[in-house]
């Protein structure tokens, strides 16, 4: 029997994990399903199992629709992933995996890419610039681009699969792509140089209804969709806290602060400008924190229930970056032999210190002085949060109690004028102020060791 209550749906596609959440009118999750995203191969490059994720979504929607009417749907997805659609409205490939080595042609690409003060986008490794992906395809497989009618971003690929209608969206187009001119508020000079200016569908608002999909008795409204960290940012922007720095965590740790001046951004430190769903530039710095945390706990074989042990001279064993692509620092492997005299609890504490120190470094570069909000998986780690709060002694550090800012932010697209009343917890500070001195020594060593990726 179908109830009279209607549910809305958020498909949240992270680089690793995919969540499908069915929420009621109060945005309370009634059903939640999870799957994994994985890489496949098309035309000799890495792509993602995007079509199977769409099919999985349809199956789950059919399952829930047997009990509930479904009203609205939106997709939020990680950045820098595109689909190519041909002139017969058939997929050529979908969707690109940014971890493929598109940057093999980086030297030539730099000659035509827009200046930083046009796109506010640094040159990033692998395929983390969509412009780099497109340049690679133009040079290596020009027939693919010639046969392409539309280039669409990941959320809009899902929207197209539901509706057969094509669209673009600003928060995705403007996210470290080299495709957007922030000064002129239009597609960048790179698009003209690659002769692809007619291959982008019209830009629609993230919350705009692009079409409908009939499933069972439900005629579901399909919203345009949004870039994932921008969905998280939207949730907090549409809240009672007006002046904040957001640290959105997952595979990536992305730090937003609209109060930071664009002139502060340093592309060599992976600082850039995102653009929110309303078209306003948002200064950003980021690193692959989730991937680094997973690497360190795996290489040291740290069980998930390990407790931090703090009563040792941890300043002698500090960990230095970095252990994943992206961010300000060079990637390397850690020398585990340096830590053989330590037990698991001590090493885990060092990992927590490391994560806090990198975030503190990023906050300093962003000149953050307002309230800090932590969102995502980091809100489950009290030690990391307390160390960070101690380092930011003049700032209030809050954690989002609900821990799912990206999915919640996406639900704001069902009612863009809705104001969110945040449920937050203030993070206490350690009495031990030696963390500040230890951090300063750690930061000084960064420059001595030349660890920066673009130094």
Check if the beta carbon of residue 264 is closer than 8 Å to that of residue 272: no
Report how far residue 381's alpha carbon sits from residue 132's, in angstroms, rounded to the nearest whole number.
36
317 closest CA partner among 290, 342, 352: 342
Q: What is the pLDDT of residues 101-116, one digit of tens each?
A: 999 999 999 999 999 9
The separation between CA 404 and the C-alpha centre of its own chain, rounded to angstroms, equals 13
Q: Look at 445 and 432; give whichever has higher pLDDT.
A: 445
Q: What is the pLDDT of residues 239-262, one digit of tens each?
A: 989 899 999 998 889 999 989 999
Q: What is the reported pLDDT for 247?
A: 95
Q: Look at 419 and 131; give whichever has higher pLDDT.
A: 131
Query: Does the pLDDT value for residue 455 go beyond 60?
Result: no
Q: Is 394 exposed, middle or buried (0-12, 13-18, 19+ CB in 10 A)?
A: exposed
**Six-digit token string for 432:** 């031990």
Residue ranges of domains in the chain, CATH in brackets:
3-224 (3.30.420.40), 229-448 (3.30.420.40)
Check if the beta carbon of residue 286 is closer than 8 Å to that of residue 326: yes
Q: For a pLDDT cut of 70, what percent of the chain falls above it?
A: 98
């Amino acid at each position: 029997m179908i109830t009279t209550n209607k549910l809305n749906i958020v498909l949240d596609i992270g680089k690793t994990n995919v969540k499908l959440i069915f929420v009621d009118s109060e945005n309370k999750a009634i059903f939640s399903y999870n799957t994994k995203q994985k890489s496949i191969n098309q035309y000799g490059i890495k792509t993602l199992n995007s079509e199977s994720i769409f099919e999985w979504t349809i199956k789950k929607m059919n399952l829930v629709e047997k009990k509930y009417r479904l009203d609205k749907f939106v997709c939020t997805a990680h950045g820098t992933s595109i689909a190519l659609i041909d002139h017969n409205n058939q997929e050529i490939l979908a969707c690109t995996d940014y971890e493929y080595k598109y940057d093999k042609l980086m030297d030539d690409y730099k000659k035509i890419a827009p200046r930083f003060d046009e796109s506010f986008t640094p040159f990033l490794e692998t395929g983390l610039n969509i412009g780099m992906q497109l340049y690679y395809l133009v040079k290596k497989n020009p027939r693919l681009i010639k046969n392409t009618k539309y280039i669409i971003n990941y959320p809009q690929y899902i929207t197209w699969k539901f509706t057969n209608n094509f669209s673009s969206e600003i928060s995705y187009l403007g996210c470290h792509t080299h495709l957007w001119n922030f000064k002129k508020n239009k597609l960048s000079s790179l698009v003209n140089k690659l002769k692809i200016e007619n291959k982008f569908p019209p830009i629609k608002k993230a919350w705009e209804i692009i079409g409908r999909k009939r499933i069972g008795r439900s005629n579901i409204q399909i919203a345009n969709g949004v870039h994932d960290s921008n969905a998280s940012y939207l949730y907090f922007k549409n809240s009672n806290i007006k002046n904040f720095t957001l640290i959105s965590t997952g595979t990536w740790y992305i730090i937003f602060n609209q109060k930071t001046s664009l002139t502060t951004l340093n592309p060599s430190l992976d600082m850039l400008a995102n653009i929110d769903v309303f078209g306003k530039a948002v200064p950003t710095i980021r690193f692959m924190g989730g991937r680094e945390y997973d690497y360190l706990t795996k290489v040291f074989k740290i069980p998930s229930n390990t407790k931090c042990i703090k009563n040792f001279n941890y300043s002698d064993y500090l960990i230095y970056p970095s252990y994943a692509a992206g961010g300000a620092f060079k990637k390397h492997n850690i020398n585990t032999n340096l830590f053989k005299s330590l037990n698991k609890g001590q090493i885990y504490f060092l990992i927590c210190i490391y994560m806090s120190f990198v975030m503190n470094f990023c906050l300093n570069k962003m000149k953050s002085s307002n309230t800090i909000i932590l969102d995502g998986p980091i809100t489950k780690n009290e030690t990391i949060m307390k160390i960070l709060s101690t380092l930011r002694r003049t700032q209030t550090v809050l954690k989002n109690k609900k821990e799912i800012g990206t999915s919640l932010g996406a639900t704001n697209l069902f009612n863009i004028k809705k104001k969110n009343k945040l449920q937050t917890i203030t993070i206490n500070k350690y009495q031990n102020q030696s963390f500040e001195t230890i951090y300063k020594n750690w930061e000084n060593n960064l420059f001595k060791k030349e660890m920066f990726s673009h130094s």
